[in-house]
Chain A
Amino acid sequence: MTDADAAAAALMDARRVQAEIVEKSQCPPAMHLVFGGLMGALVAAQGGSASVVFGVEGVVMLAAVILFLRTRRRLGFFVNGYRRGRTRWAVAALLLVFLPAMALAAWCKLERGLTWPALALGALTFVAGTAASWGWRRLYQSELAAGPANAA
């Protein structure tokens, strides 16, 4: 076996292990909807009273912790959403929608006393959150498929 053959075999081994991780980390489509729902709820809650805002924030935080623990227990590994790589584009795109939507929803409620903009922006954020979650997963898969070095 030549050095090049050994190198090709080593690359194949690394790819096989990472393909297994991608396969194991498959999540049902409903999980993207749940993520979008949590993000949308945070924005929509801005249209309510202070107790609604704090209540929803508490529920969302609790749900996020439960999801994290359940996923980690089920898979035996964890992938941070803010990991380096192309997946950060999905995070950046989501934040570009989420942060202005939160600020605008809160401003409409506090300065104008309007509730409906928060609900509309919450619905928009739900769509953006679901799409970002789905996009993140696609980018993660394509990054690993492009070669083991890209994962690091």
Chain B
Amino acid sequence: MADLDPLIHAPARLQMSALLAAVTEAEFATVRTTLGVSDSVLSKHVSQLSEAGYVKVRKAALDGRQRTWLSLTREGRRAFAGHMAALEALVSTARKAAE
């Protein structure tokens, strides 16, 4: 059974990972709006996941302005899938025990 990943476990980082797992890359502002957090809070979570090698940060110009694009690395995708599997196993075990 996969283990819970403490780096992904925090709600904001879990939601960011879920968003990035569904796309190839997403703009920082889109992630911030979807998660409903401030720039500084998101930056902090991005740094943590980036330092762990889970998130790749890319700067690129769009409409003449510098934008930040985020994507999950292969390791990040693997960690997210493992974390989701662990959560699902936890829920499923509890359901079986309740039956």
CB of A19, distance to nearest CB on chain B (Å): 10
Question: In the bound complex, what is the Cα–Cα distance between A17 and B14 (angstroms)?
Answer: 10
B94 touches A2 (CB 8 A): yes
A151 touches B22 (CB 8 A): yes
Cβ contacts B22-34/A at 8 Å (1 or 0 each):
1111110110011
Question: In the bound complex, what is the Cα–Cα distance between A80 and B80 (angstroms)?
Answer: 19
The A-B contact count (CB < 8 A) is 95
Question: In the bound complex, what is the Cα–Cα distance between A96 and B17 (angstroms)?
Answer: 34
Q: What is the predominant secondary structure among interface residues of chain A facing chain B? A: helix
Among candidates B25, B29, B81, B88, residue contacting A152 with C-beta atoms closer than 8 Å: B81
CB of A79, distance to nearest CB on chain B (Å): 5
B88 touches A149 (CB 8 A): yes
Question: In the bound complex, what is the Cα–Cα distance between A65 and B30 (angstroms)?
Answer: 21
Cβ contacts A116-152/B at 8 Å (1 or 0 each):
0000000000000000000000000000100111011
Among candidates B17, B21, B26, B91, residue contacting A7 with C-beta atoms closer than 8 Å: B91
Which residues on A sit within 8 Å (CB–CB) of B62?
72-73
Q: What is the predominant secondary structure among interface residues of chain B facing chain A? A: helix
Which residues on A sit within 8 Å (CB–CB) of B33?
76
Question: Taking beta carbons and an 8 Å cutoff, which residues of A are in contact with B?
Answer: 2-4, 7-8, 10-11, 13-15, 17-18, 20-22, 72-73, 75-80, 83, 144, 147-149, 151-152
| A-B contacts, 26 listed (Cβ < 8 Å) | A10-B9, A11-B84, A11-B87, A11-B88, A11-B91, A13-B14, A14-B14, A14-B18, A17-B15, A17-B22, A18-B18, A18-B22, A73-B63, A76-B26, A77-B24, A77-B25, A77-B30, A79-B22, A79-B23, A148-B21, A148-B80, A149-B84, A149-B85, A152-B72, A152-B80, A152-B81
Question: Taking beta carbons and an 8 Å cutoff, which residues of B are in contact with A?
Answer: 9, 11, 14-15, 17-19, 21-27, 29-30, 33-35, 62-63, 72, 77-78, 80-81, 84-85, 87-88, 90-91, 93-95
Known: A149-B84, A149-B85. 11 other contacts (CB 8 A): A3-B90, A4-B94, A4-B95, A8-B91, A18-B19, A21-B22, A73-B62, A76-B33, A77-B26, A77-B30, A78-B25
